[in-house]
Amino acid sequence: MAQEDVFKKIVAHCKEYGFVFPSSDIYDGLGAVYDYGQMGVELKNNIKQYWWQSMVLLHDNIVGIDSSIFMHPTIWKASGHVDAFNDPLIDNRDSKKRYRADVLIEDQIAKYDEKIQKEVEKARKRFGDSFDEAQYLATSKNVLEHAAKRDELHERYKKAMNDGNLEELRQIILDEGIVCPISGTKNWTDVRQFNLMFSTEMGSTSDGSMKVYLRPETAQGIFVNYLNVQKTGRMKLPFGIAQIGKAFRNEIVARQFIFRMREFEQMEMQFFIKPGTDMDWFKQWKATRLKWHLALGFGEQNYRYHDHEKLAHYAAAATDIEFLMPFGFKEVEGIHSRTNWDLSQHEKYSGKSIKYFDPESGESFTPHVIETSIGVDRMFLSVMCASYEEQQLENGETRTVLHLPAALAPVKLGILPLVKKDGLPELARQIQNDLKFHFNCQYDEKDTIGKRYRRQDAIGTPYCITVDYQSLEDGTVTLRNRDTMEQERVAIKELNNIIADKVTITSLLKTL
Ligand code: ATP
């Protein structure tokens, strides 16, 4: 099945099973805004819990905060967002569609890589076992031509972005012959900068209202609380402050479901360090964060690091952790070395000293920062994409199954009485009442047992138990594994021991 179709199926599945709905659905939705349904909210909460606990529980030098969405407007002047939080946009005159100029060019660069990959695959088939990929990459005329074009484009693009040269960005789009995917034409407007922050008014107009912004990142709430936390928590460097919360960006192109939203949630951690230790901590956090992703078991081949071409206005070094979505490798998390940029700016604009006194050296300085920043919604999407499978069964049927990591699954146990009579529902309810204190259970007595298994597979429930006539006699039930579909008979009183260990966030944290 084409990857595009897979993605469409995942989006449809998210709606059908109560994971994600378009916002304001009965009013035909609102662009790039989504709601999480009864299953989605559980999965999302579990992702947040996995992140929060991996930061705050496992590190005794990381604490959390919850700052507000509205902040003093000068904060966004100081942070550079008022002047520099822009994307270069370009319109196609024929389709009237709007694009990000940088994204159009980055996609073109990726196309050269795809061409190289196709050459490699063709050669691998031709040469069979004797194929030497490294030698082929270094010598094939076609590969070298594609690579040279890619590198040349890359350099030109990097320079244009770093110089903020909008005319050159447009020229690159024209020179590369990039067409609008909708109209198929090259009838492009000029490239313009577009600020992504939403603003609103605070206070009534009679007493002079103030323009305030909806925060475009949660990080600034951490920076402006640095002194409060450091002092009241008696924190010593190095230490981190973590936060989960909503962020808002008026994205130009918002077409990929929950990948790019106008209202989304971030999980950010700012790690405050001594100047000069930046590169060591940057490397360490890159490794720590990738390990967190890998622990979910989706396979190393689905992740890669991507170093930034153009550094944001605050960054000294930046890497993305990318995940292989059905529409290619895409950023899920950013790790940034932010130097002392933000804290120094807030010192300047607020007039307050934000210094750390190092008792060992007797020196005072403005701490440097390494940031890890991940979008909850993009993480959610990556988990859905990696877990979704349409399986062809031996009996010719297809089953749709979500192989969610058990610790993230919304429902951990499906409790299914074989029939709706003879005391089986009562026993099943009794089991549910015992286990519901330990993990999320779902009771289901409607339809055939086969249909009920399929419903649990579709929402990713790792285990189901069936209460049958034998259960009444010997206190055992069948326990079915979602992935293998194998069943075993186990004692009801053992259920908590068998399952709890495998489905808790703690079990996942222990693998880190
Ligand atoms: P992109 O280049 O895709 O616009 P970014 O580099 O601007 O992303 P950051 O500012 O580094 O993103 O934000 C950190 C994280 O927040 C991203 O890795 C992503 O997971 C998430 N994020 C950013 N923008 C959005 C959005 N519009 N919708 C959903 N998640 C987002």
SS in 3 state form for 135-158? HHHHHCHHHHHHHHHHHHHHHHHH
Measured between alpha carbons, how far is 498 from 481 in angstroms, rounded to an integer?
12
Give the residue, by CA position, lying nearest to ligand 1 atom 12. 334
Alpha-carbon distances of 304 from 259, 289, 335, rounded to whole Å: 17, 12, 13
pLDDT at 377: 98
Ligand 1 in reach of 266 Cβ (< 6 A) = yes
The tens digit of pLDDT for each residue in 347-398 reads 999 999 999 999 888 999 999 999 999 999 999 999 999 999 999 988 888 9
Question: Are the C-beta atoms of residues 326 and 3 closer than 8 Å to each other?
Answer: yes
pLDDT at 37: 98
Question: Are the C-beta atoms of residues 433 and 360 closer than 8 Å to each other?
Answer: no
Give the residue, by CA position, lying nearest to ligand 1 atom 26. 260
Measured from the Cα of 268, ligand 1's closest atom is: 14
Residue 253 has pLDDT above 80, yes or no: no
Ligand 1 in reach of 251 Cβ (< 6 A) = yes
| Confidence tier at 4 by pLDDT (50, 70, 90) | confident
As given in the structure block, the two tokens for residue 253 are 């192109």
Ligand 1 in reach of 224 Cβ (< 6 A) = no
Alpha-carbon distances of 483 from 301, 389, 439, 462, 479, rounded to whole Å: 21, 11, 19, 7, 12
Residue 501 has pLDDT above 90, yes or no: no
How does DSSP assign 80-149, residue by residue? THHHH-EEEEEEBTTT--EEEHHHHHHHHHHHHHHHHHHHHHHHHHHHGGG--HHHHHHH-HHHHHHHHH
Of 103, 218, 260, which is best to mutate to test ligand 1, by the most ligand atoms within 8 angstroms of its C-beta?
A: 260
Going by C-alpha positions, the residue among 338, 267, 266, 334 that lies closest to residue 55 is 267
How does DSSP assign 462-504, residue by residue? SEEEEE-HHHHHHSEEEEEETTT--EEEEEGGGHHHHHHHHHS
- The 10 Å CB-count burial string (b at 16+, else e) for 412-439 is bbbbbbbeeeeebbebbeebeeebeeeb
Give the residue, by CA position, lying nearest to ligand 1 atom 9. 334
Measured from the Cα of 331, ligand 1's closest atom is: 18
Ligand 1 in reach of 91 Cβ (< 6 A) = no
| Confidence tier at 164 by pLDDT (50, 70, 90) | confident
Ligand 1 in reach of 457 Cβ (< 6 A) = no
Cα 119 to averaged position of ligand 1 atoms, centre (Å): 33
Using the structure block, give the residue that is written with the tokens 């805004």. Answer: 33
pLDDT at 482: 98
The tens digit of pLDDT for each residue in 408-463 reads 999 999 999 999 999 999 999 999 999 999 999 999 999 999 999 999 999 999 99
Ligand 1 in reach of 375 Cβ (< 6 A) = yes
Cα 351 to averaged position of ligand 1 atoms, centre (Å): 31
Measured from the Cα of 266, ligand 1's closest atom is: 16
The tens digit of pLDDT for each residue in 5-46 reads 899 999 999 999 999 999 999 999 999 999 999 999 999 999
Number of Cα atoms under 13 Å in the Cβ half of residue 415 = 22
Give the residue, by CA position, lying nearest to ligand 1 atom 23. 375
Residue 312 has pLDDT above 90, yes or no: no
pLDDT at 206: 63
Of 262, 264, 267, which is best to mutate to test ligand 1, by the most ligand atoms within 8 angstroms of its C-beta?
A: 264
Using the structure block, give the residue that is written with the tokens 């320079």. Answer: 159
Ligand 1 in reach of 452 Cβ (< 6 A) = no
Ligand 1 in reach of 376 Cβ (< 6 A) = no
Return the minimum-mean-pLDDT range out of 41-55, 108-122, 299-313.
Answer: 299-313
pLDDT at 129: 86
Residue 204 has pLDDT above 90, yes or no: no
Return the minimum-mean-pLDDT range out of 10-24, 138-152, 196-210.
Answer: 196-210
Average pLDDT for the chain: 94
Q: What secondary structure letter does DSSP report for 225? A: T
Alpha-carbon distances of 362 from 28, 93, 272, 356, rounded to whole Å: 62, 62, 18, 10
Alpha-carbon distances of 88 from 164, 170, 196, 215, 412, rounded to whole Å: 9, 10, 10, 20, 45
- Burial zone of 135 (CB within 10 Å; 0-12 exposed, 13-18 middle, 19+ buried): exposed
Ligand 1 in reach of 264 Cβ (< 6 A) = yes
Task: Give percent of the chain above pLDDT 90.
Answer: 88
Task: Give percent of the chain above pLDDT 70.
Answer: 98
Cα 40 to averaged position of ligand 1 atoms, centre (Å): 20
Q: What is the mean pLDDT of residues 246-250?
A: 97
Measured between alpha carbons, how far is 17 from 268 in angstroms, rounded to an integer?
29
The tens digit of pLDDT for each residue in 326-351 reads 999 999 999 999 999 999 999 999 99
* Preceding amide of 238 cis, omega within 30: yes
Interior CA angle at 467 toward 461 and 471, to 5°? 140
pLDDT at 233: 96
